[in-house]
Homo-oligomer: A and B are copies of this chain.
Amino acid sequence: MTASGTLRARRSERGDIRDREIRVGVIGLGRMGAMRAGNATRIPGLRIVAVTDPQGPSLSATADRLGVDGHTDWRQLVARDDVDAVLICSPAAAHRDQIIAAAEQGKHIFCEKPIDLDLGRIGEALAAVRESGVTMQLGFNRRADRNFAALRERLAGDAIGTPWLIKLTSRDPAPQPAEYISTSGGLFADMTIHDFDLARFMMANEVVEVSAIGAALVEPSLAAIGDIDCAVITLRFADGSLGVIENCRQSAVGYDQRVEVHGPRGTLFAENEQADTVVQADARGIHHSPIPGFLAERYDGAYLAELRGFAECLIHGAPPVATGEDGRRSAILAAAAHRALVERRPVAVSEITA
């Protein structure tokens, strides 16, 4: 009996999953996992039954707080009969194995991005998901951000006509630690990957060609490991429309995340959030508060909303906020951007997928 057969069997045993709570296991209790676990308790229809982390102390603290079982070995969690779905919040290097194992056990999967840094390994993970028939959602949180989602809705409602151009700005408040960056896969795979996904999501169209320029300006020593921290990436979409992404690892004002889409009947912007609405007008000018700090503050609501989306997709059959295939496509675009940068030429996306 295949994994997907098992799933169907277990489903029929317990009646329609839509009648009851989704029993969730959380894999990895670092910053993201702890946040996801907290969010899961706020979403009707999700119930955490077990958590897993190789670090004993954080494991037992969280298990106690939530009143659930704790496992140091994630395979034990994945094997539990009373787990319907897993939230994979472990380091990226573990994602592939965990996805495959969960899929084989018939567990639905929510996985943080990236699936993996290697396209071959991504393909293996997605194949396992496909074969098992489980549902997989990827943690492209920005799709669930209220501002970006509202912009997408306007585009879908034909507010400005068929877009000609998309422009994304994404700047981190400060560079990640050197050890993080050195294993991150580089700027395109680590940071731009969110923008590739957002560009595809917004334009509802596929990128066919990528060009890129970049430099190590924030931290010139990055050049030694072949990485950059400022970049401009240009895109051509299948319908002929254009795109441009700008990234930087440092932004004094905070986590700068903006989208602009230009079309025949107008231009749509998703502007930055404000930490608060206080304005101070004095002899030096008119001062607004800075942009909220970083991921946790800026995408607070988006993290909750995407998990709610995962629950809705399992309970009501809604489409996932982002699929594993969305993850693979963005990884391909990151690879194309890297090649474009190195070879100093526009790279057709088909060159990568070939």
List residues of A whose CB falls within 8 A of some B CB: 42, 146-147, 150-151, 154, 159-160, 164-165, 167, 169, 171, 209, 211, 213-215, 217-218, 230-232, 234, 236, 240-244, 246, 248, 250-253, 256, 262, 264-273, 276-291, 344-346
In the assembled complex, 17 residue pairs joining A and B whose CB atoms fall closer than 8 Å, in A order, are A147-B277, A150-B276, A211-B234, A231-B242, A232-B243, A244-B244, A251-B262, A251-B267, A253-B281, A266-B283, A267-B281, A268-B279, A269-B281, A283-B290, A284-B290, A285-B290, A345-B346
* Closest beta carbon of chain B to A286's beta carbon, Å: 4
Query: Is A252 a contact of B282 with CB atoms below 8 Å?
Result: yes
Task: Count copies of this chain in the complex.
Answer: 4
Q: A230-B242, A288-B286 are in contact. Are A276 and B165 (CB under 8 A)?
A: no
Residues of B within 8 A of A344 (CB): 345-346
Which of the listed residues A154, A218, A267 has the most CB atoms from chain B within 10 Å of its own CB? A267
- A164 touches which one: B218, B236, B242 (CB < 8 A)? B218
With contacts A154-B278, A278-B147 taken as known, whether A213 is within 8 angstroms of B242 at the C-beta atoms is yes
Query: Which B-chain residue is minimally distant from A281 (CB atoms)?
Result: B253
- Which residue of the partner chain, among B218, B231, B242, B252, contacts A267 with CB atoms under 8 Å? B252
Set of chain B residues within 8 Å of A282, measured between Cβ atoms: 159-160, 252-253, 265-267
- Asked whether A286 and B240 contact (CB < 8 A) given A164-B217, A248-B262, A280-B154, the answer is no
A293 to chain B, nearest CB (A): 11
Bound form: Cα–Cα A265–B246 in Å: 18
Q: Do B160 and A252 have beta carbons less than 8 Å apart?
A: yes
Inter-subunit contact B269/A213 (CB<8 Å): no
CA distance A286 to B276 in the complex (A): 12
| Residues of chain B contacted by A346 (CB below 8 angstroms) | 213, 344-345
A236 nearest in chain B by CB position: B213
| B280/A150 in contact, CB under 8 A | no
Whether B280 and A268, one on each chain, are in contact in the complex, defined by CB atoms closer than 8 angstroms, is yes
- B262 near A171: Cβ-Cβ < 8 Å: yes
How far is it, in angstroms, between the C-alpha of A281 and the C-alpha of B269 when the chains are bound? 8
Which one, B150, B218, B265, contacts A264 given CB within 8 A?
Answer: B218
- Pick from A214, A253, A346 the residue with the most CB of B within 10 Å: A253
Closest chain-B Cβ to A69's Cβ sits at a distance in Å of: 19
Residues of B near A42 (CB, < 8 A) are 42
A262 to B172, CA, bound (A): 13
Q: What residues of chain B lie closer than 8 Å to A276, measured between beta carbons? A: 146-147, 150, 270
**Which of A42, A231, A242 neighbours the largest number of chain B CB atoms within 10 Å of its CB?**
A242
Q: Is the CB–CB distance between A242 and B214 below 8 Å?
A: yes
**Nearest opposing residue in chain B for A215, CB measure:** B240
Taking the closest CB of chain B, its distance from the CB of A272, in whole angstroms, is: 7
Sample of 5 further A-B pairs with CB below 8 A, known A234-B234, A267-B281, A286-B291: A213-B234, A213-B242, A252-B264, A283-B290, A344-B346
Q: A145: shortest Cβ distance to chain B, in Å?
A: 9
Q: Cβ of A281: which chain B residues have Cβ within 8 Å of it?
A: 252-253, 256, 266-269, 290-291
Structural contact, B230 and A164, CB atoms closer than 8 A: yes
Q: Knowing A213-B211, A234-B232, A246-B165 are in contact, say whether A278-B286 is a contact too (CB < 8 A).
A: no
- Give every chain B residue within 8 A of A287 (Cβ-Cβ): 284-288
B266–A271 CB distance below 8 A: no
Measured CB to CB, the nearest residue on chain B to A282 is B266
